[in-house]
Chain A
Amino acid sequence: MKAPKFAYAKPATLPAALALLDQHGEEAKVLAGGQSLVATLNMRLSSPAILIDITGIAALSGISTANGKVRIGALTRHCDIERSAEIAKSVPLLAQAVGQIAHAAIRNAGTLGGSIAFADPAAEWPACMLAVDAEFIIAGKSGERRVQARDFFKGLYTTALQPKEILVAIEIPLLGAGYRSAFLELARRHGDYAIAGVAAIAKLDAGKFRDVRLAYLGVGATPILAKGAMAAIEGNAYSAEVVAAAQQALGRELDPIGDLYSAPPTKTHLARVLTGRALAAIAA
């Protein structure tokens, strides 16, 4: 299908973009990489009066490290993260996940901020943001505010972002020595949205898991931090019993939405399988 009629503006600065958003309110949509938004426009699932293209705002791109945090501009593309030596070294979970986001042609256009703001529960970045304990920097007319990733994802495609705000950057605390991570997902075709996936981080301390984070995608209305499964693993060494305890806890905290191919019990089963594989990978 073809997109409905809309107006287009490409402001050069963040204040100009925020002024346009303030003027048009909920009639406006912010365009970043467009890899979800343009598809929804073409399918007429979305009909904004105006698109505000923020890709001309250079200050919203780039990766830098300071004060124990990695800061990634919201407009940083998936491919920029894929090619970043800084990310591979400082936040390896993102490097492990990025190759599973769609396909090269989409990773060349889609952005980190766009994926987070769109908040598809089956997307890779929102779950990764929970696992790395990211903080989001959000700009509005009255200034900036910060929201923890763990408070950001409110419901299906619903976030803490208000209609007149723009997500400008993501900050990720650096982890010390001994941390390991794994990102695993299952999809029918490489690059498709996952049936289920897990972003896992833990510190291995004398063979025992510490500071365990397990964030799941594709198994609920939002990405899910599985606190019960995390607690079942915390302080324990890798064993079949610990894996089984985590898998059992998982069944109580996931609430998958079935789709054309996978019923909720299938998704829960696959999330459990991936949990076992992720823990084995971290313990290896």
Chain B
Amino acid sequence: MDYEIETTMTLNGTQVTRRIAARTHLVDFLREEMGLTGSHAGCEHGVCGACTLRVNGDIVRGCLTLAVACNGKTIDTIEGVSDSGEAAEMQHAFHERNALQCGFCTPGMIMCAIDLVKNKPAAKREEIREYISGNYCRCTGYHAIVDAIEAVLISKQRLGGKS
């Protein structure tokens, strides 16, 4: 029986191949094997959302994804979307609106927020709250986070209207 599986994935645009223990979830693999510590392991049972990342373009729970099940898949983490500039506007809005304090939830929150901008560009505040309901924040009370996401949505809608 195979307890370690050779696994190849495209991680933030770069193909990587590693032998990975089947029991390792994606966040532990990223943090401990690849040194990508932006995805946070919070509850490790799918409740808190601090581990939110993208597999094949869709946001998922990193802690509920086995690393070996990512063979052949494309993974994007907060490091990837930061370096590419994809998350820049959202990160700037979080900074401007003070939408973080301790920062533990922030990578997962940003991954969720840029997914919302992509999938629900016309979302109102209530829909923003619903969309981020799977991401716990214990500092901000969410209000500032909703403000930041709303600011990005409004800014994009204005730009869209001009073009």
Number of A interface residues, CB 8 Å?
34
Asked if A42 and B2 make an inter-chain contact with CB atoms under 8 angstroms apart, the answer reads no
Q: 7 smallest A-B Cβ distances: which pairs? A: A103-B134, A7-B1, A8-B22, A108-B58, A39-B45, A190-B133, A3-B23
Asked if A38 and B64 make an inter-chain contact with CB atoms under 8 angstroms apart, the answer reads yes
Secondary structure dominating the interface of B: mixed
Chain A residues with CB under 8 Å of B5's CB are: 8
Min Cβ gap A35→B in Å is: 5
The segment from B9-17, B65-73, B90-98, B148-156 found at the interface with A is: B65-73
A3→B65 CA distance, assembly (Å)? 12
Secondary structure dominating the interface of A: loop
A50→B69 CA distance, assembly (Å)? 14
Q: Given A9-B2, A102-B134, is A41 in contact with B59 using a C-beta cutoff of 8 Å?
A: no
A36→B3 CA distance, assembly (Å)? 21
A99→B118 CA distance, assembly (Å)? 18
Q: Given A5-B3, A7-B2, is A108 in contact with B134 using a C-beta cutoff of 8 Å?
A: no
A4→B21 CA distance, assembly (Å)? 11
A189→B134 CA distance, assembly (Å)? 9
> Can you name 26 A-B pairs with beta carbons within 8 Å?
A3-B23, A6-B3, A6-B22, A6-B23, A8-B3, A8-B68, A31-B69, A38-B63, A38-B64, A38-B65, A41-B23, A43-B44, A51-B22, A79-B58, A102-B46, A103-B135, A104-B115, A104-B131, A105-B52, A105-B60, A106-B60, A108-B58, A109-B58, A190-B129, A190-B130, A190-B133
A42→B27 CA distance, assembly (Å)? 12
4 A-B pairs besides A2-B28, A105-B134, A190-B133 with CB distance below 8 A are A39-B46, A104-B115, A104-B134, A108-B60
